[in-house]
Each structure stands twice: as structure tokens, then as C-alpha cells.
Amino acid sequence: MRAFPLRSALFATVLAIAWVVAAPVARATQQARAAAGSPPVPPVAANSPAALGYSAQGADTCLMCHRMNAKVMAIFRSPHAQPDNPHSPFGPGGLQCEACHGPGGAHVKATGMKPAGIVVFGPHSPTPVAKQNAMCLTCHQATVGHAWLTSAHAANGVSCADCHHIHGAADPVRAQATQSSVCAQCHQAVVAQFRKPYHHPVPDGTMSCSSCHDPHGSLGPHMLVKNTVNGTCTRCHARKRGPFLWEHQPVSENCLDCHTPHGSVVPSLLSEQPTILCQQCHDAAGHPSVPYGPQGLPGGMPNPYLLIDGCVNCHSRIHGSNSPSGQALMR
């Protein structure tokens, strides 16, 4: 039991002797290099990758352990690992894996058992979301824009890796045909609306969520790509934009006054059946469609033109009219 202190003392003595012997040799080697015209070996700079904790061999060090992980190796089919792209982490002078995951020197010394200082991406990561996103924004700030910091996604702790597939040849959220399936992982209520009989063609892959919404944030409501609802809708529905000689006020105010964008059980994505919807603003009393009795009081059955398409059977130019006689939006 007492041999251990003796061994420690002997080991310390050997190290001290070795240092005393090696120091003059190192100085002599430097002096010999200077005399021979060879530049001396420079010391490690304080801001060099080695001094900052990065591994000496870059991705080669990482792949010693992670080369059998198919998800890790898929990065070599992604834009992040293009050796000829100067903007890629694997481009000339890039830090490769450690450009995104941070310095891996401590992780290597810990034999990989604990992610010491390593940034781990994904929904179940121990790394704070703010730190994950900060690594992405180091390169993608110009693409994402400053609206991200005030977006609903940022406020709810959504990380870039929650939506984006970093390792891989394709990122499903950036493809129109597959983007909605990524958004549906969180927005289940919207998915239910798209299953109604009348909806925008997002489930068909003809449109995507980002056709109307900017997932990285915007200055408009609901993270719309334009500053207003009408500005977003009229990017496709330009004929409804106007200006018209005779305007229908809800059209110029907000499309959502009458329409529900994700899905409806009523044609034209209306929020109610036409007659009920119109009478939320327009009083039916005194209207020619209301039958009146001998006493001048409304009664009896409503005009059959109010059935099926309702008001638009007569007021067909419901969004506005340019006809000189189109005050009632009938022509």
C-alpha cells in the first residue's frame, strides 16, 4: 500500500530530469536552425485552431469514431461538404465538422464519452437552441434575415435543425413537394384544415407553405411573405386586387373577412355559406329578395335566387366592378 507514493515520487523525478535535459537540446536545435538559415519553428499562436481547442486533423479525427454512422457520412452528399466551394465548411481553409459543431479537442480527450463543448443539433439536443442557431447564423444570417429574431418560431424555441436536414443530399423542407410534411410535424391543426373538401393545393405539392409564409419571420402578420394579407393573396390572385370603379370594402380591407385560407367546407374557401356570410354585414330588410305582404311587412318564403350560390347569383362581381352601372356589383 505504501509503494504508490514512492512510485509517484520516482515518476516526478524522472520527468524533472527529462525536462532539464530536453530544454537545452530544444534551444540548441533552434539555434542550429537559425545558423543554417532555416526558420525556427513558430510557437502556437493564441488564436490558432490548435490553441482554441480544435483538433489537428479536422474531419479525419471525427471520422475515426463516426465513420460507421450513416447519418454522419451523409454530409459528404450535402452542400456543406463541397471541397471546391469556398463558402462550405469543407472548402479551402474550412474547419470542416468543427465549423458547425465547435472545437472538438476536449471531446477527443474525453474519448467521446461526453460531448464536452460539442454543439449537438436536433430536437433532443442538450445544447441550448440559441447556441445551435447561433452556429447556423454564422454563415446564413444574410439568407435568413434579421426578422428571425422576432419571429414566432424563434419565440417558441424552434431550432434550425428542427426543420432543416443538415446531413444529406436533399433538405425536404426546401422542396415544394415535401415541405408541407415537415411543417405538419408541429402544425397539426392546419393539416386538418387542408383535409377539408376545398383547400389550397398544398397537399398536392402544387403549392408549399412558404408560398404564403416566411418561416424565418417577416414584418407582416402570421409570418406572411408580404406585409399584409391582401398583399400576399394578390401575388397569385391579381385580378381581385383592383383598383375598381366600384369597390367592395371587405376586398380592399382584408381577404380573411370572407375567406379562410387553409381549407373550408364551402366553395371558394368562404368562411360561411354565401347568404349567411353576406348578411353578417348586409341587412336583408328592405332588400328586393325579401317578399313583402299586403301590410308591407316581410313574410313568406325567400326568393329562390338566394338558394345555392346565394347573393352572388345576382351580385356576381363581388370583388369589384369597373362597369359604369356596376354600383350594385351586378355587372
In a domain, 251, yes or no: yes
Residues 6 or more apart whose CB falls under 8 angstroms from that of 249 comprise none
Lowest-pLDDT range, 29-33, 113-117, 201-205?
29-33
3-state secondary structure of 305: helix
| Section 282-290 average pLDDT | 71
Beta-carbon contacts of residue 320 (< 8 Å; ≥ 6 apart): 240, 242, 243, 244, 245, 246, 247, 248, 251, 329
62-71, 182-191, 252-261: least confident range = 62-71
φ, ψ for residue 139 (rounded to 5)? -105, -35
Q: Quote the pLDDT of residue 312.
A: 86
Whether residue 5 has pLDDT greater than 50? no
- Rounded to an integer, what distance in angstroms lies between the CA atom of residue 195 and that of residue 247? 33
Q: What is the pLDDT of residues 208-244, one digit of tens each?
A: 999 999 999 998 999 999 999 999 999 999 999 889 9
Residue 104 pLDDT class (50, 70, 90 cuts): confident
State yes or no: pLDDT of 32 exceeds 80: no
Confirm if 99 and 89 have CB atoms less than 8 A apart. Answer: yes
Q: Which domain holds residue 268?
A: 242-293+300-321
Give pLDDT, residue 10. 47
> What is the value of pTM for the model shown?
0.75
CB neighbour list of residue 261: distance below 8 Å, 6 or more residues apart: 200, 212, 233, 255, 269
Q: In this structure, are 152 and 249 located in the same domain?
A: no
Which of 170, 194, 225 terminates a domain? The answer is 170
The one-letter amino acid code at 89 reads P
Structure confidence at residue 171 (pLDDT): 93
Give the C-alpha separation, 179 to 154, whole Å. Answer: 19
Q: Taking all residues of the chain, what is their mean pLDDT, rounded to a whole number?
A: 81
Is the pLDDT at 105 greater than 90? The verdict is: no
Cell triple for residue 196?
377539408
Range of lowest pLDDT (105-114, 269-278, 314-323): 105-114
Give domain status of residue 204, yes or no: no
Residue 50 belongs to a domain: no
Measured distance CA(170)–CA(82) in Å, rounded:
14
DSSP 8-state symbol, 68: T
- Is 5 within the bounds of a domain? no
Count the domains in the chain. Answer: 2
Q: What percent of the chain has pLDDT over 90?
A: 44
Percent of the chain with pLDDT over 70: 75
**Predicted confidence band at 146 (pLDDT cuts at 50, 70, 90)?**
confident
Pick left, alpha or beta for residue 242 (phi over 0 → left; psi -120 to 50 → alpha; otherwise beta). Answer: left
Does 28 reside within a domain? no
Query: Which pLDDT belongs to residue 184?
Result: 95
At residue 106, the pLDDT reads: 80
Task: Look at residue 235 and tell me if it is in a domain.
Answer: no
Q: What is the per-residue pLDDT for 37?
A: 53
- Given a cut of 50, is residue 272 above it in pLDDT? yes
Q: Please determine, for residue 52, whether its predicted confidence score (pLDDT) is greater than 90.
A: no
Model confidence band, residue 202 (pLDDT cutoffs 50, 70, 90): very high
Amino acid at 304: P
Do 204 and 215 contact (CB within 8 A), yes or no? no
Which residue among 170, 186, 216 closes a domain?
170
123, 153, 170 - which closes a domain: 170
Kindly write down the DSSP assignment for every residue of 98-137, as one continuous string. HHHH---HHHHHTTTSS-TT----STT-SS-HHHHHHHHH
**105 lies in some domain:** yes
* Mean predicted confidence (pLDDT) in 288-294: 66
Instruction: Give me the pLDDT at residue 115, please.
Output: 63
Residue 237 lies in a domain: no
Residue 254 clears pLDDT 80, i.e. is over it: yes
Dist CA 177 CA 194 (whole Å): 15
Cell matching residue 247: 369597390
Average pLDDT of the residues in 260-267: 94
